[in-house]
Amino acid sequence: MTKIASLFADPSTLSKDALEHGTTFAPKFDANGLVTAITIEEGTNNVLMVAFMDAQAIALTLETGFAHYFSRSRGKIWKKGESSGELQHVRQMRTDCDQDAIVLTVVQSGHGAACHTGRKSCFYRQISLVDGKPVLQDAGQPQLFDPKDVYKS
Protein backbone atom coordinates (compact mmCIF):
# COMPACT_ATOMS: atom_id res chain seq x y z
CA MET A 1 0.00 0.00 0.00
CA THR A 2 2.96 2.30 0.38
CA LYS A 3 2.86 2.58 -3.42
CA ILE A 4 -0.10 4.90 -3.11
CA ALA A 5 0.84 6.51 0.21
CA SER A 6 4.11 7.67 -1.29
CA LEU A 7 2.14 9.37 -4.05
CA PHE A 8 0.35 11.74 -1.67
CA ALA A 9 1.60 15.26 -2.20
CA ASP A 10 2.89 17.33 0.70
CA PRO A 11 0.32 20.11 1.25
CA SER A 12 3.05 22.51 2.44
CA THR A 13 4.43 22.49 -1.11
CA LEU A 14 1.11 23.70 -2.57
CA SER A 15 -0.29 27.21 -2.80
CA LYS A 16 -3.57 27.88 -0.95
CA ASP A 17 -5.28 28.02 -4.33
CA ALA A 18 -3.84 24.68 -5.45
CA LEU A 19 -4.75 23.09 -2.09
CA GLU A 20 -8.33 24.34 -2.23
CA HIS A 21 -9.10 24.23 -5.94
CA GLY A 22 -6.58 21.92 -7.58
CA THR A 23 -6.62 18.26 -8.55
CA THR A 24 -3.64 17.29 -6.38
CA PHE A 25 -4.57 15.13 -3.41
CA ALA A 26 -2.41 16.39 -0.55
CA PRO A 27 -3.94 15.24 2.74
CA LYS A 28 -3.06 17.68 5.51
CA PHE A 29 -2.19 15.38 8.39
CA ASP A 30 -2.17 16.74 11.94
CA ALA A 31 0.78 16.49 14.34
CA ASN A 32 -0.11 12.82 14.88
CA GLY A 33 -0.21 12.09 11.15
CA LEU A 34 -4.00 11.84 11.03
CA VAL A 35 -6.95 13.34 9.19
CA THR A 36 -10.55 13.19 10.40
CA ALA A 37 -12.75 10.66 8.61
CA ILE A 38 -16.53 10.96 8.58
CA THR A 39 -18.38 7.91 7.36
CA ILE A 40 -21.87 8.25 5.92
CA GLU A 41 -24.36 5.73 4.57
CA GLU A 42 -24.94 5.65 0.82
CA GLY A 43 -28.48 6.71 0.00
CA THR A 44 -29.52 8.22 3.34
CA ASN A 45 -26.32 10.20 4.06
CA ASN A 46 -26.76 9.24 7.72
CA VAL A 47 -23.54 9.87 9.65
CA LEU A 48 -22.47 6.43 10.80
CA MET A 49 -19.24 7.21 12.64
CA VAL A 50 -16.26 9.50 12.95
CA ALA A 51 -12.73 8.17 13.10
CA PHE A 52 -9.19 8.97 11.97
CA MET A 53 -7.07 7.89 9.03
CA ASP A 54 -3.32 7.98 8.56
CA ALA A 55 -1.65 7.80 5.13
CA GLN A 56 -1.64 4.01 5.16
CA ALA A 57 -5.33 3.79 6.08
CA ILE A 58 -6.19 6.12 3.19
CA ALA A 59 -4.03 4.09 0.81
CA LEU A 60 -5.51 0.76 1.94
CA THR A 61 -9.03 2.16 1.60
CA LEU A 62 -8.34 3.41 -1.93
CA GLU A 63 -6.66 0.15 -2.94
CA THR A 64 -9.10 -2.34 -1.43
CA GLY A 65 -12.42 -0.47 -1.49
CA PHE A 66 -12.95 -1.33 2.20
CA ALA A 67 -12.79 1.33 4.91
CA HIS A 68 -9.61 1.30 7.00
CA TYR A 69 -8.98 3.65 9.90
CA PHE A 70 -6.23 4.37 12.40
CA SER A 71 -7.15 3.54 15.98
CA ARG A 72 -5.68 6.10 18.34
CA SER A 73 -6.39 3.93 21.39
CA ARG A 74 -4.77 0.84 19.87
CA GLY A 75 -2.12 2.76 17.94
CA LYS A 76 -2.63 0.80 14.73
CA ILE A 77 -4.42 0.48 11.41
CA TRP A 78 -7.82 -1.10 11.67
CA LYS A 79 -9.92 -2.61 8.91
CA LYS A 80 -13.48 -1.77 9.89
CA GLY A 81 -15.33 -5.03 10.50
CA GLU A 82 -12.27 -7.25 10.89
CA SER A 83 -13.58 -8.35 14.33
CA SER A 84 -17.30 -7.74 13.98
CA GLY A 85 -17.85 -8.64 10.35
CA GLU A 86 -19.39 -5.17 9.85
CA LEU A 87 -17.29 -4.30 6.80
CA GLN A 88 -17.76 -1.01 4.97
CA HIS A 89 -17.76 -1.04 1.16
CA VAL A 90 -16.59 2.39 0.07
CA ARG A 91 -18.57 3.96 -2.77
CA GLN A 92 -17.02 7.42 -2.72
CA MET A 93 -14.31 9.39 -0.95
CA ARG A 94 -14.27 13.18 -0.82
CA THR A 95 -11.94 15.66 0.80
CA ASP A 96 -12.64 19.18 2.00
CA CYS A 97 -11.35 22.61 1.04
CA ASP A 98 -8.15 22.44 3.10
CA GLN A 99 -7.78 18.66 2.74
CA ASP A 100 -7.66 17.84 6.46
CA ALA A 101 -10.83 15.72 6.49
CA ILE A 102 -12.34 12.94 4.38
CA VAL A 103 -15.95 11.87 3.92
CA LEU A 104 -16.42 8.20 3.09
CA THR A 105 -19.73 7.17 1.56
CA VAL A 106 -20.20 3.48 2.34
CA VAL A 107 -22.51 0.52 2.20
CA GLN A 108 -22.41 -1.02 5.67
CA SER A 109 -22.43 -4.81 5.45
CA GLY A 110 -22.88 -7.43 8.18
CA HIS A 111 -25.78 -6.51 10.46
CA GLY A 112 -25.61 -2.94 9.15
CA ALA A 113 -24.18 -1.60 12.40
CA ALA A 114 -21.23 0.77 12.25
CA CYS A 115 -21.18 1.31 16.03
CA HIS A 116 -19.53 -1.13 18.42
CA THR A 117 -22.68 -0.89 20.57
CA GLY A 118 -24.57 -2.68 17.79
CA ARG A 119 -26.38 0.36 16.46
CA LYS A 120 -26.31 1.54 12.86
CA SER A 121 -24.77 4.88 13.84
CA CYS A 122 -22.61 5.97 16.77
CA PHE A 123 -24.75 9.12 17.01
CA TYR A 124 -27.71 7.56 18.81
CA ARG A 125 -28.14 10.19 21.52
CA GLN A 126 -29.50 13.69 21.17
CA ILE A 127 -28.20 16.55 23.33
CA SER A 128 -31.08 18.59 24.76
CA LEU A 129 -31.42 21.33 27.31
CA VAL A 130 -33.80 20.30 30.09
CA ASP A 131 -34.32 23.05 32.66
CA GLY A 132 -31.22 24.75 31.26
CA LYS A 133 -29.08 21.65 31.74
CA PRO A 134 -27.73 19.56 28.85
CA VAL A 135 -28.84 15.93 28.97
CA LEU A 136 -28.67 13.05 26.51
CA GLN A 137 -31.79 11.37 25.19
CA ASP A 138 -31.64 8.10 23.29
CA ALA A 139 -33.01 8.62 19.79
CA GLY A 140 -34.29 5.05 19.69
CA GLN A 141 -31.94 3.36 17.22
CA PRO A 142 -32.36 -0.42 17.55
CA GLN A 143 -29.41 -2.64 18.45
CA LEU A 144 -28.68 -4.73 15.35
CA PHE A 145 -26.29 -7.04 17.17
CA ASP A 146 -25.33 -7.84 20.74
CA PRO A 147 -21.73 -6.72 21.35
CA LYS A 148 -21.26 -9.63 23.78
CA ASP A 149 -21.85 -12.07 20.93
CA VAL A 150 -19.72 -10.21 18.39
CA TYR A 151 -16.65 -9.12 20.34
CA LYS A 152 -15.56 -12.37 21.94
CA SER A 153 -12.04 -11.90 23.21
Known binding-site positions for Zn(2+) = 97, 115, 122
CB of 67 to a copy of itself, least distance (A): 13
Query: Taking a C-beta distance cutoff of 8 angstroms, is the pair 139, 121 a contact?
Result: no
Cβ–Cβ < 8 Å for 35, 28: yes
Note whether 143 binds a copy of itself by CB under 8 A: no
User: Least Å distance between CB 56 and a copy of itself?
Assistant: 13
Supply φ then ψ for residue 92, to 5 degrees. -160, 145
Q: Are strands 35-41 and 101-108 parallel, antiparallel or unpaired?
A: parallel
Q: Which CB sits closer to a copy of itself, 8 or 78?
A: 8
Decide if residue 56 touches a copy of itself (CB under 8 A): no
Residue 147 and residue 117 in contact, taking contact as beta carbons nearer than 8 Å: yes
Verify binding: residue 132, a copy of itself, rule CB under 8 A: yes
Contact set for a copy of itself, span 2-21 (CB under 8 A): 3-4, 7-8, 20-21
Residues 110-129 that bind a copy of itself (CB under 8 A): 115-117, 122-127, 129
Q: Are 69 and 54 in contact (CB under 8 A)?
A: no
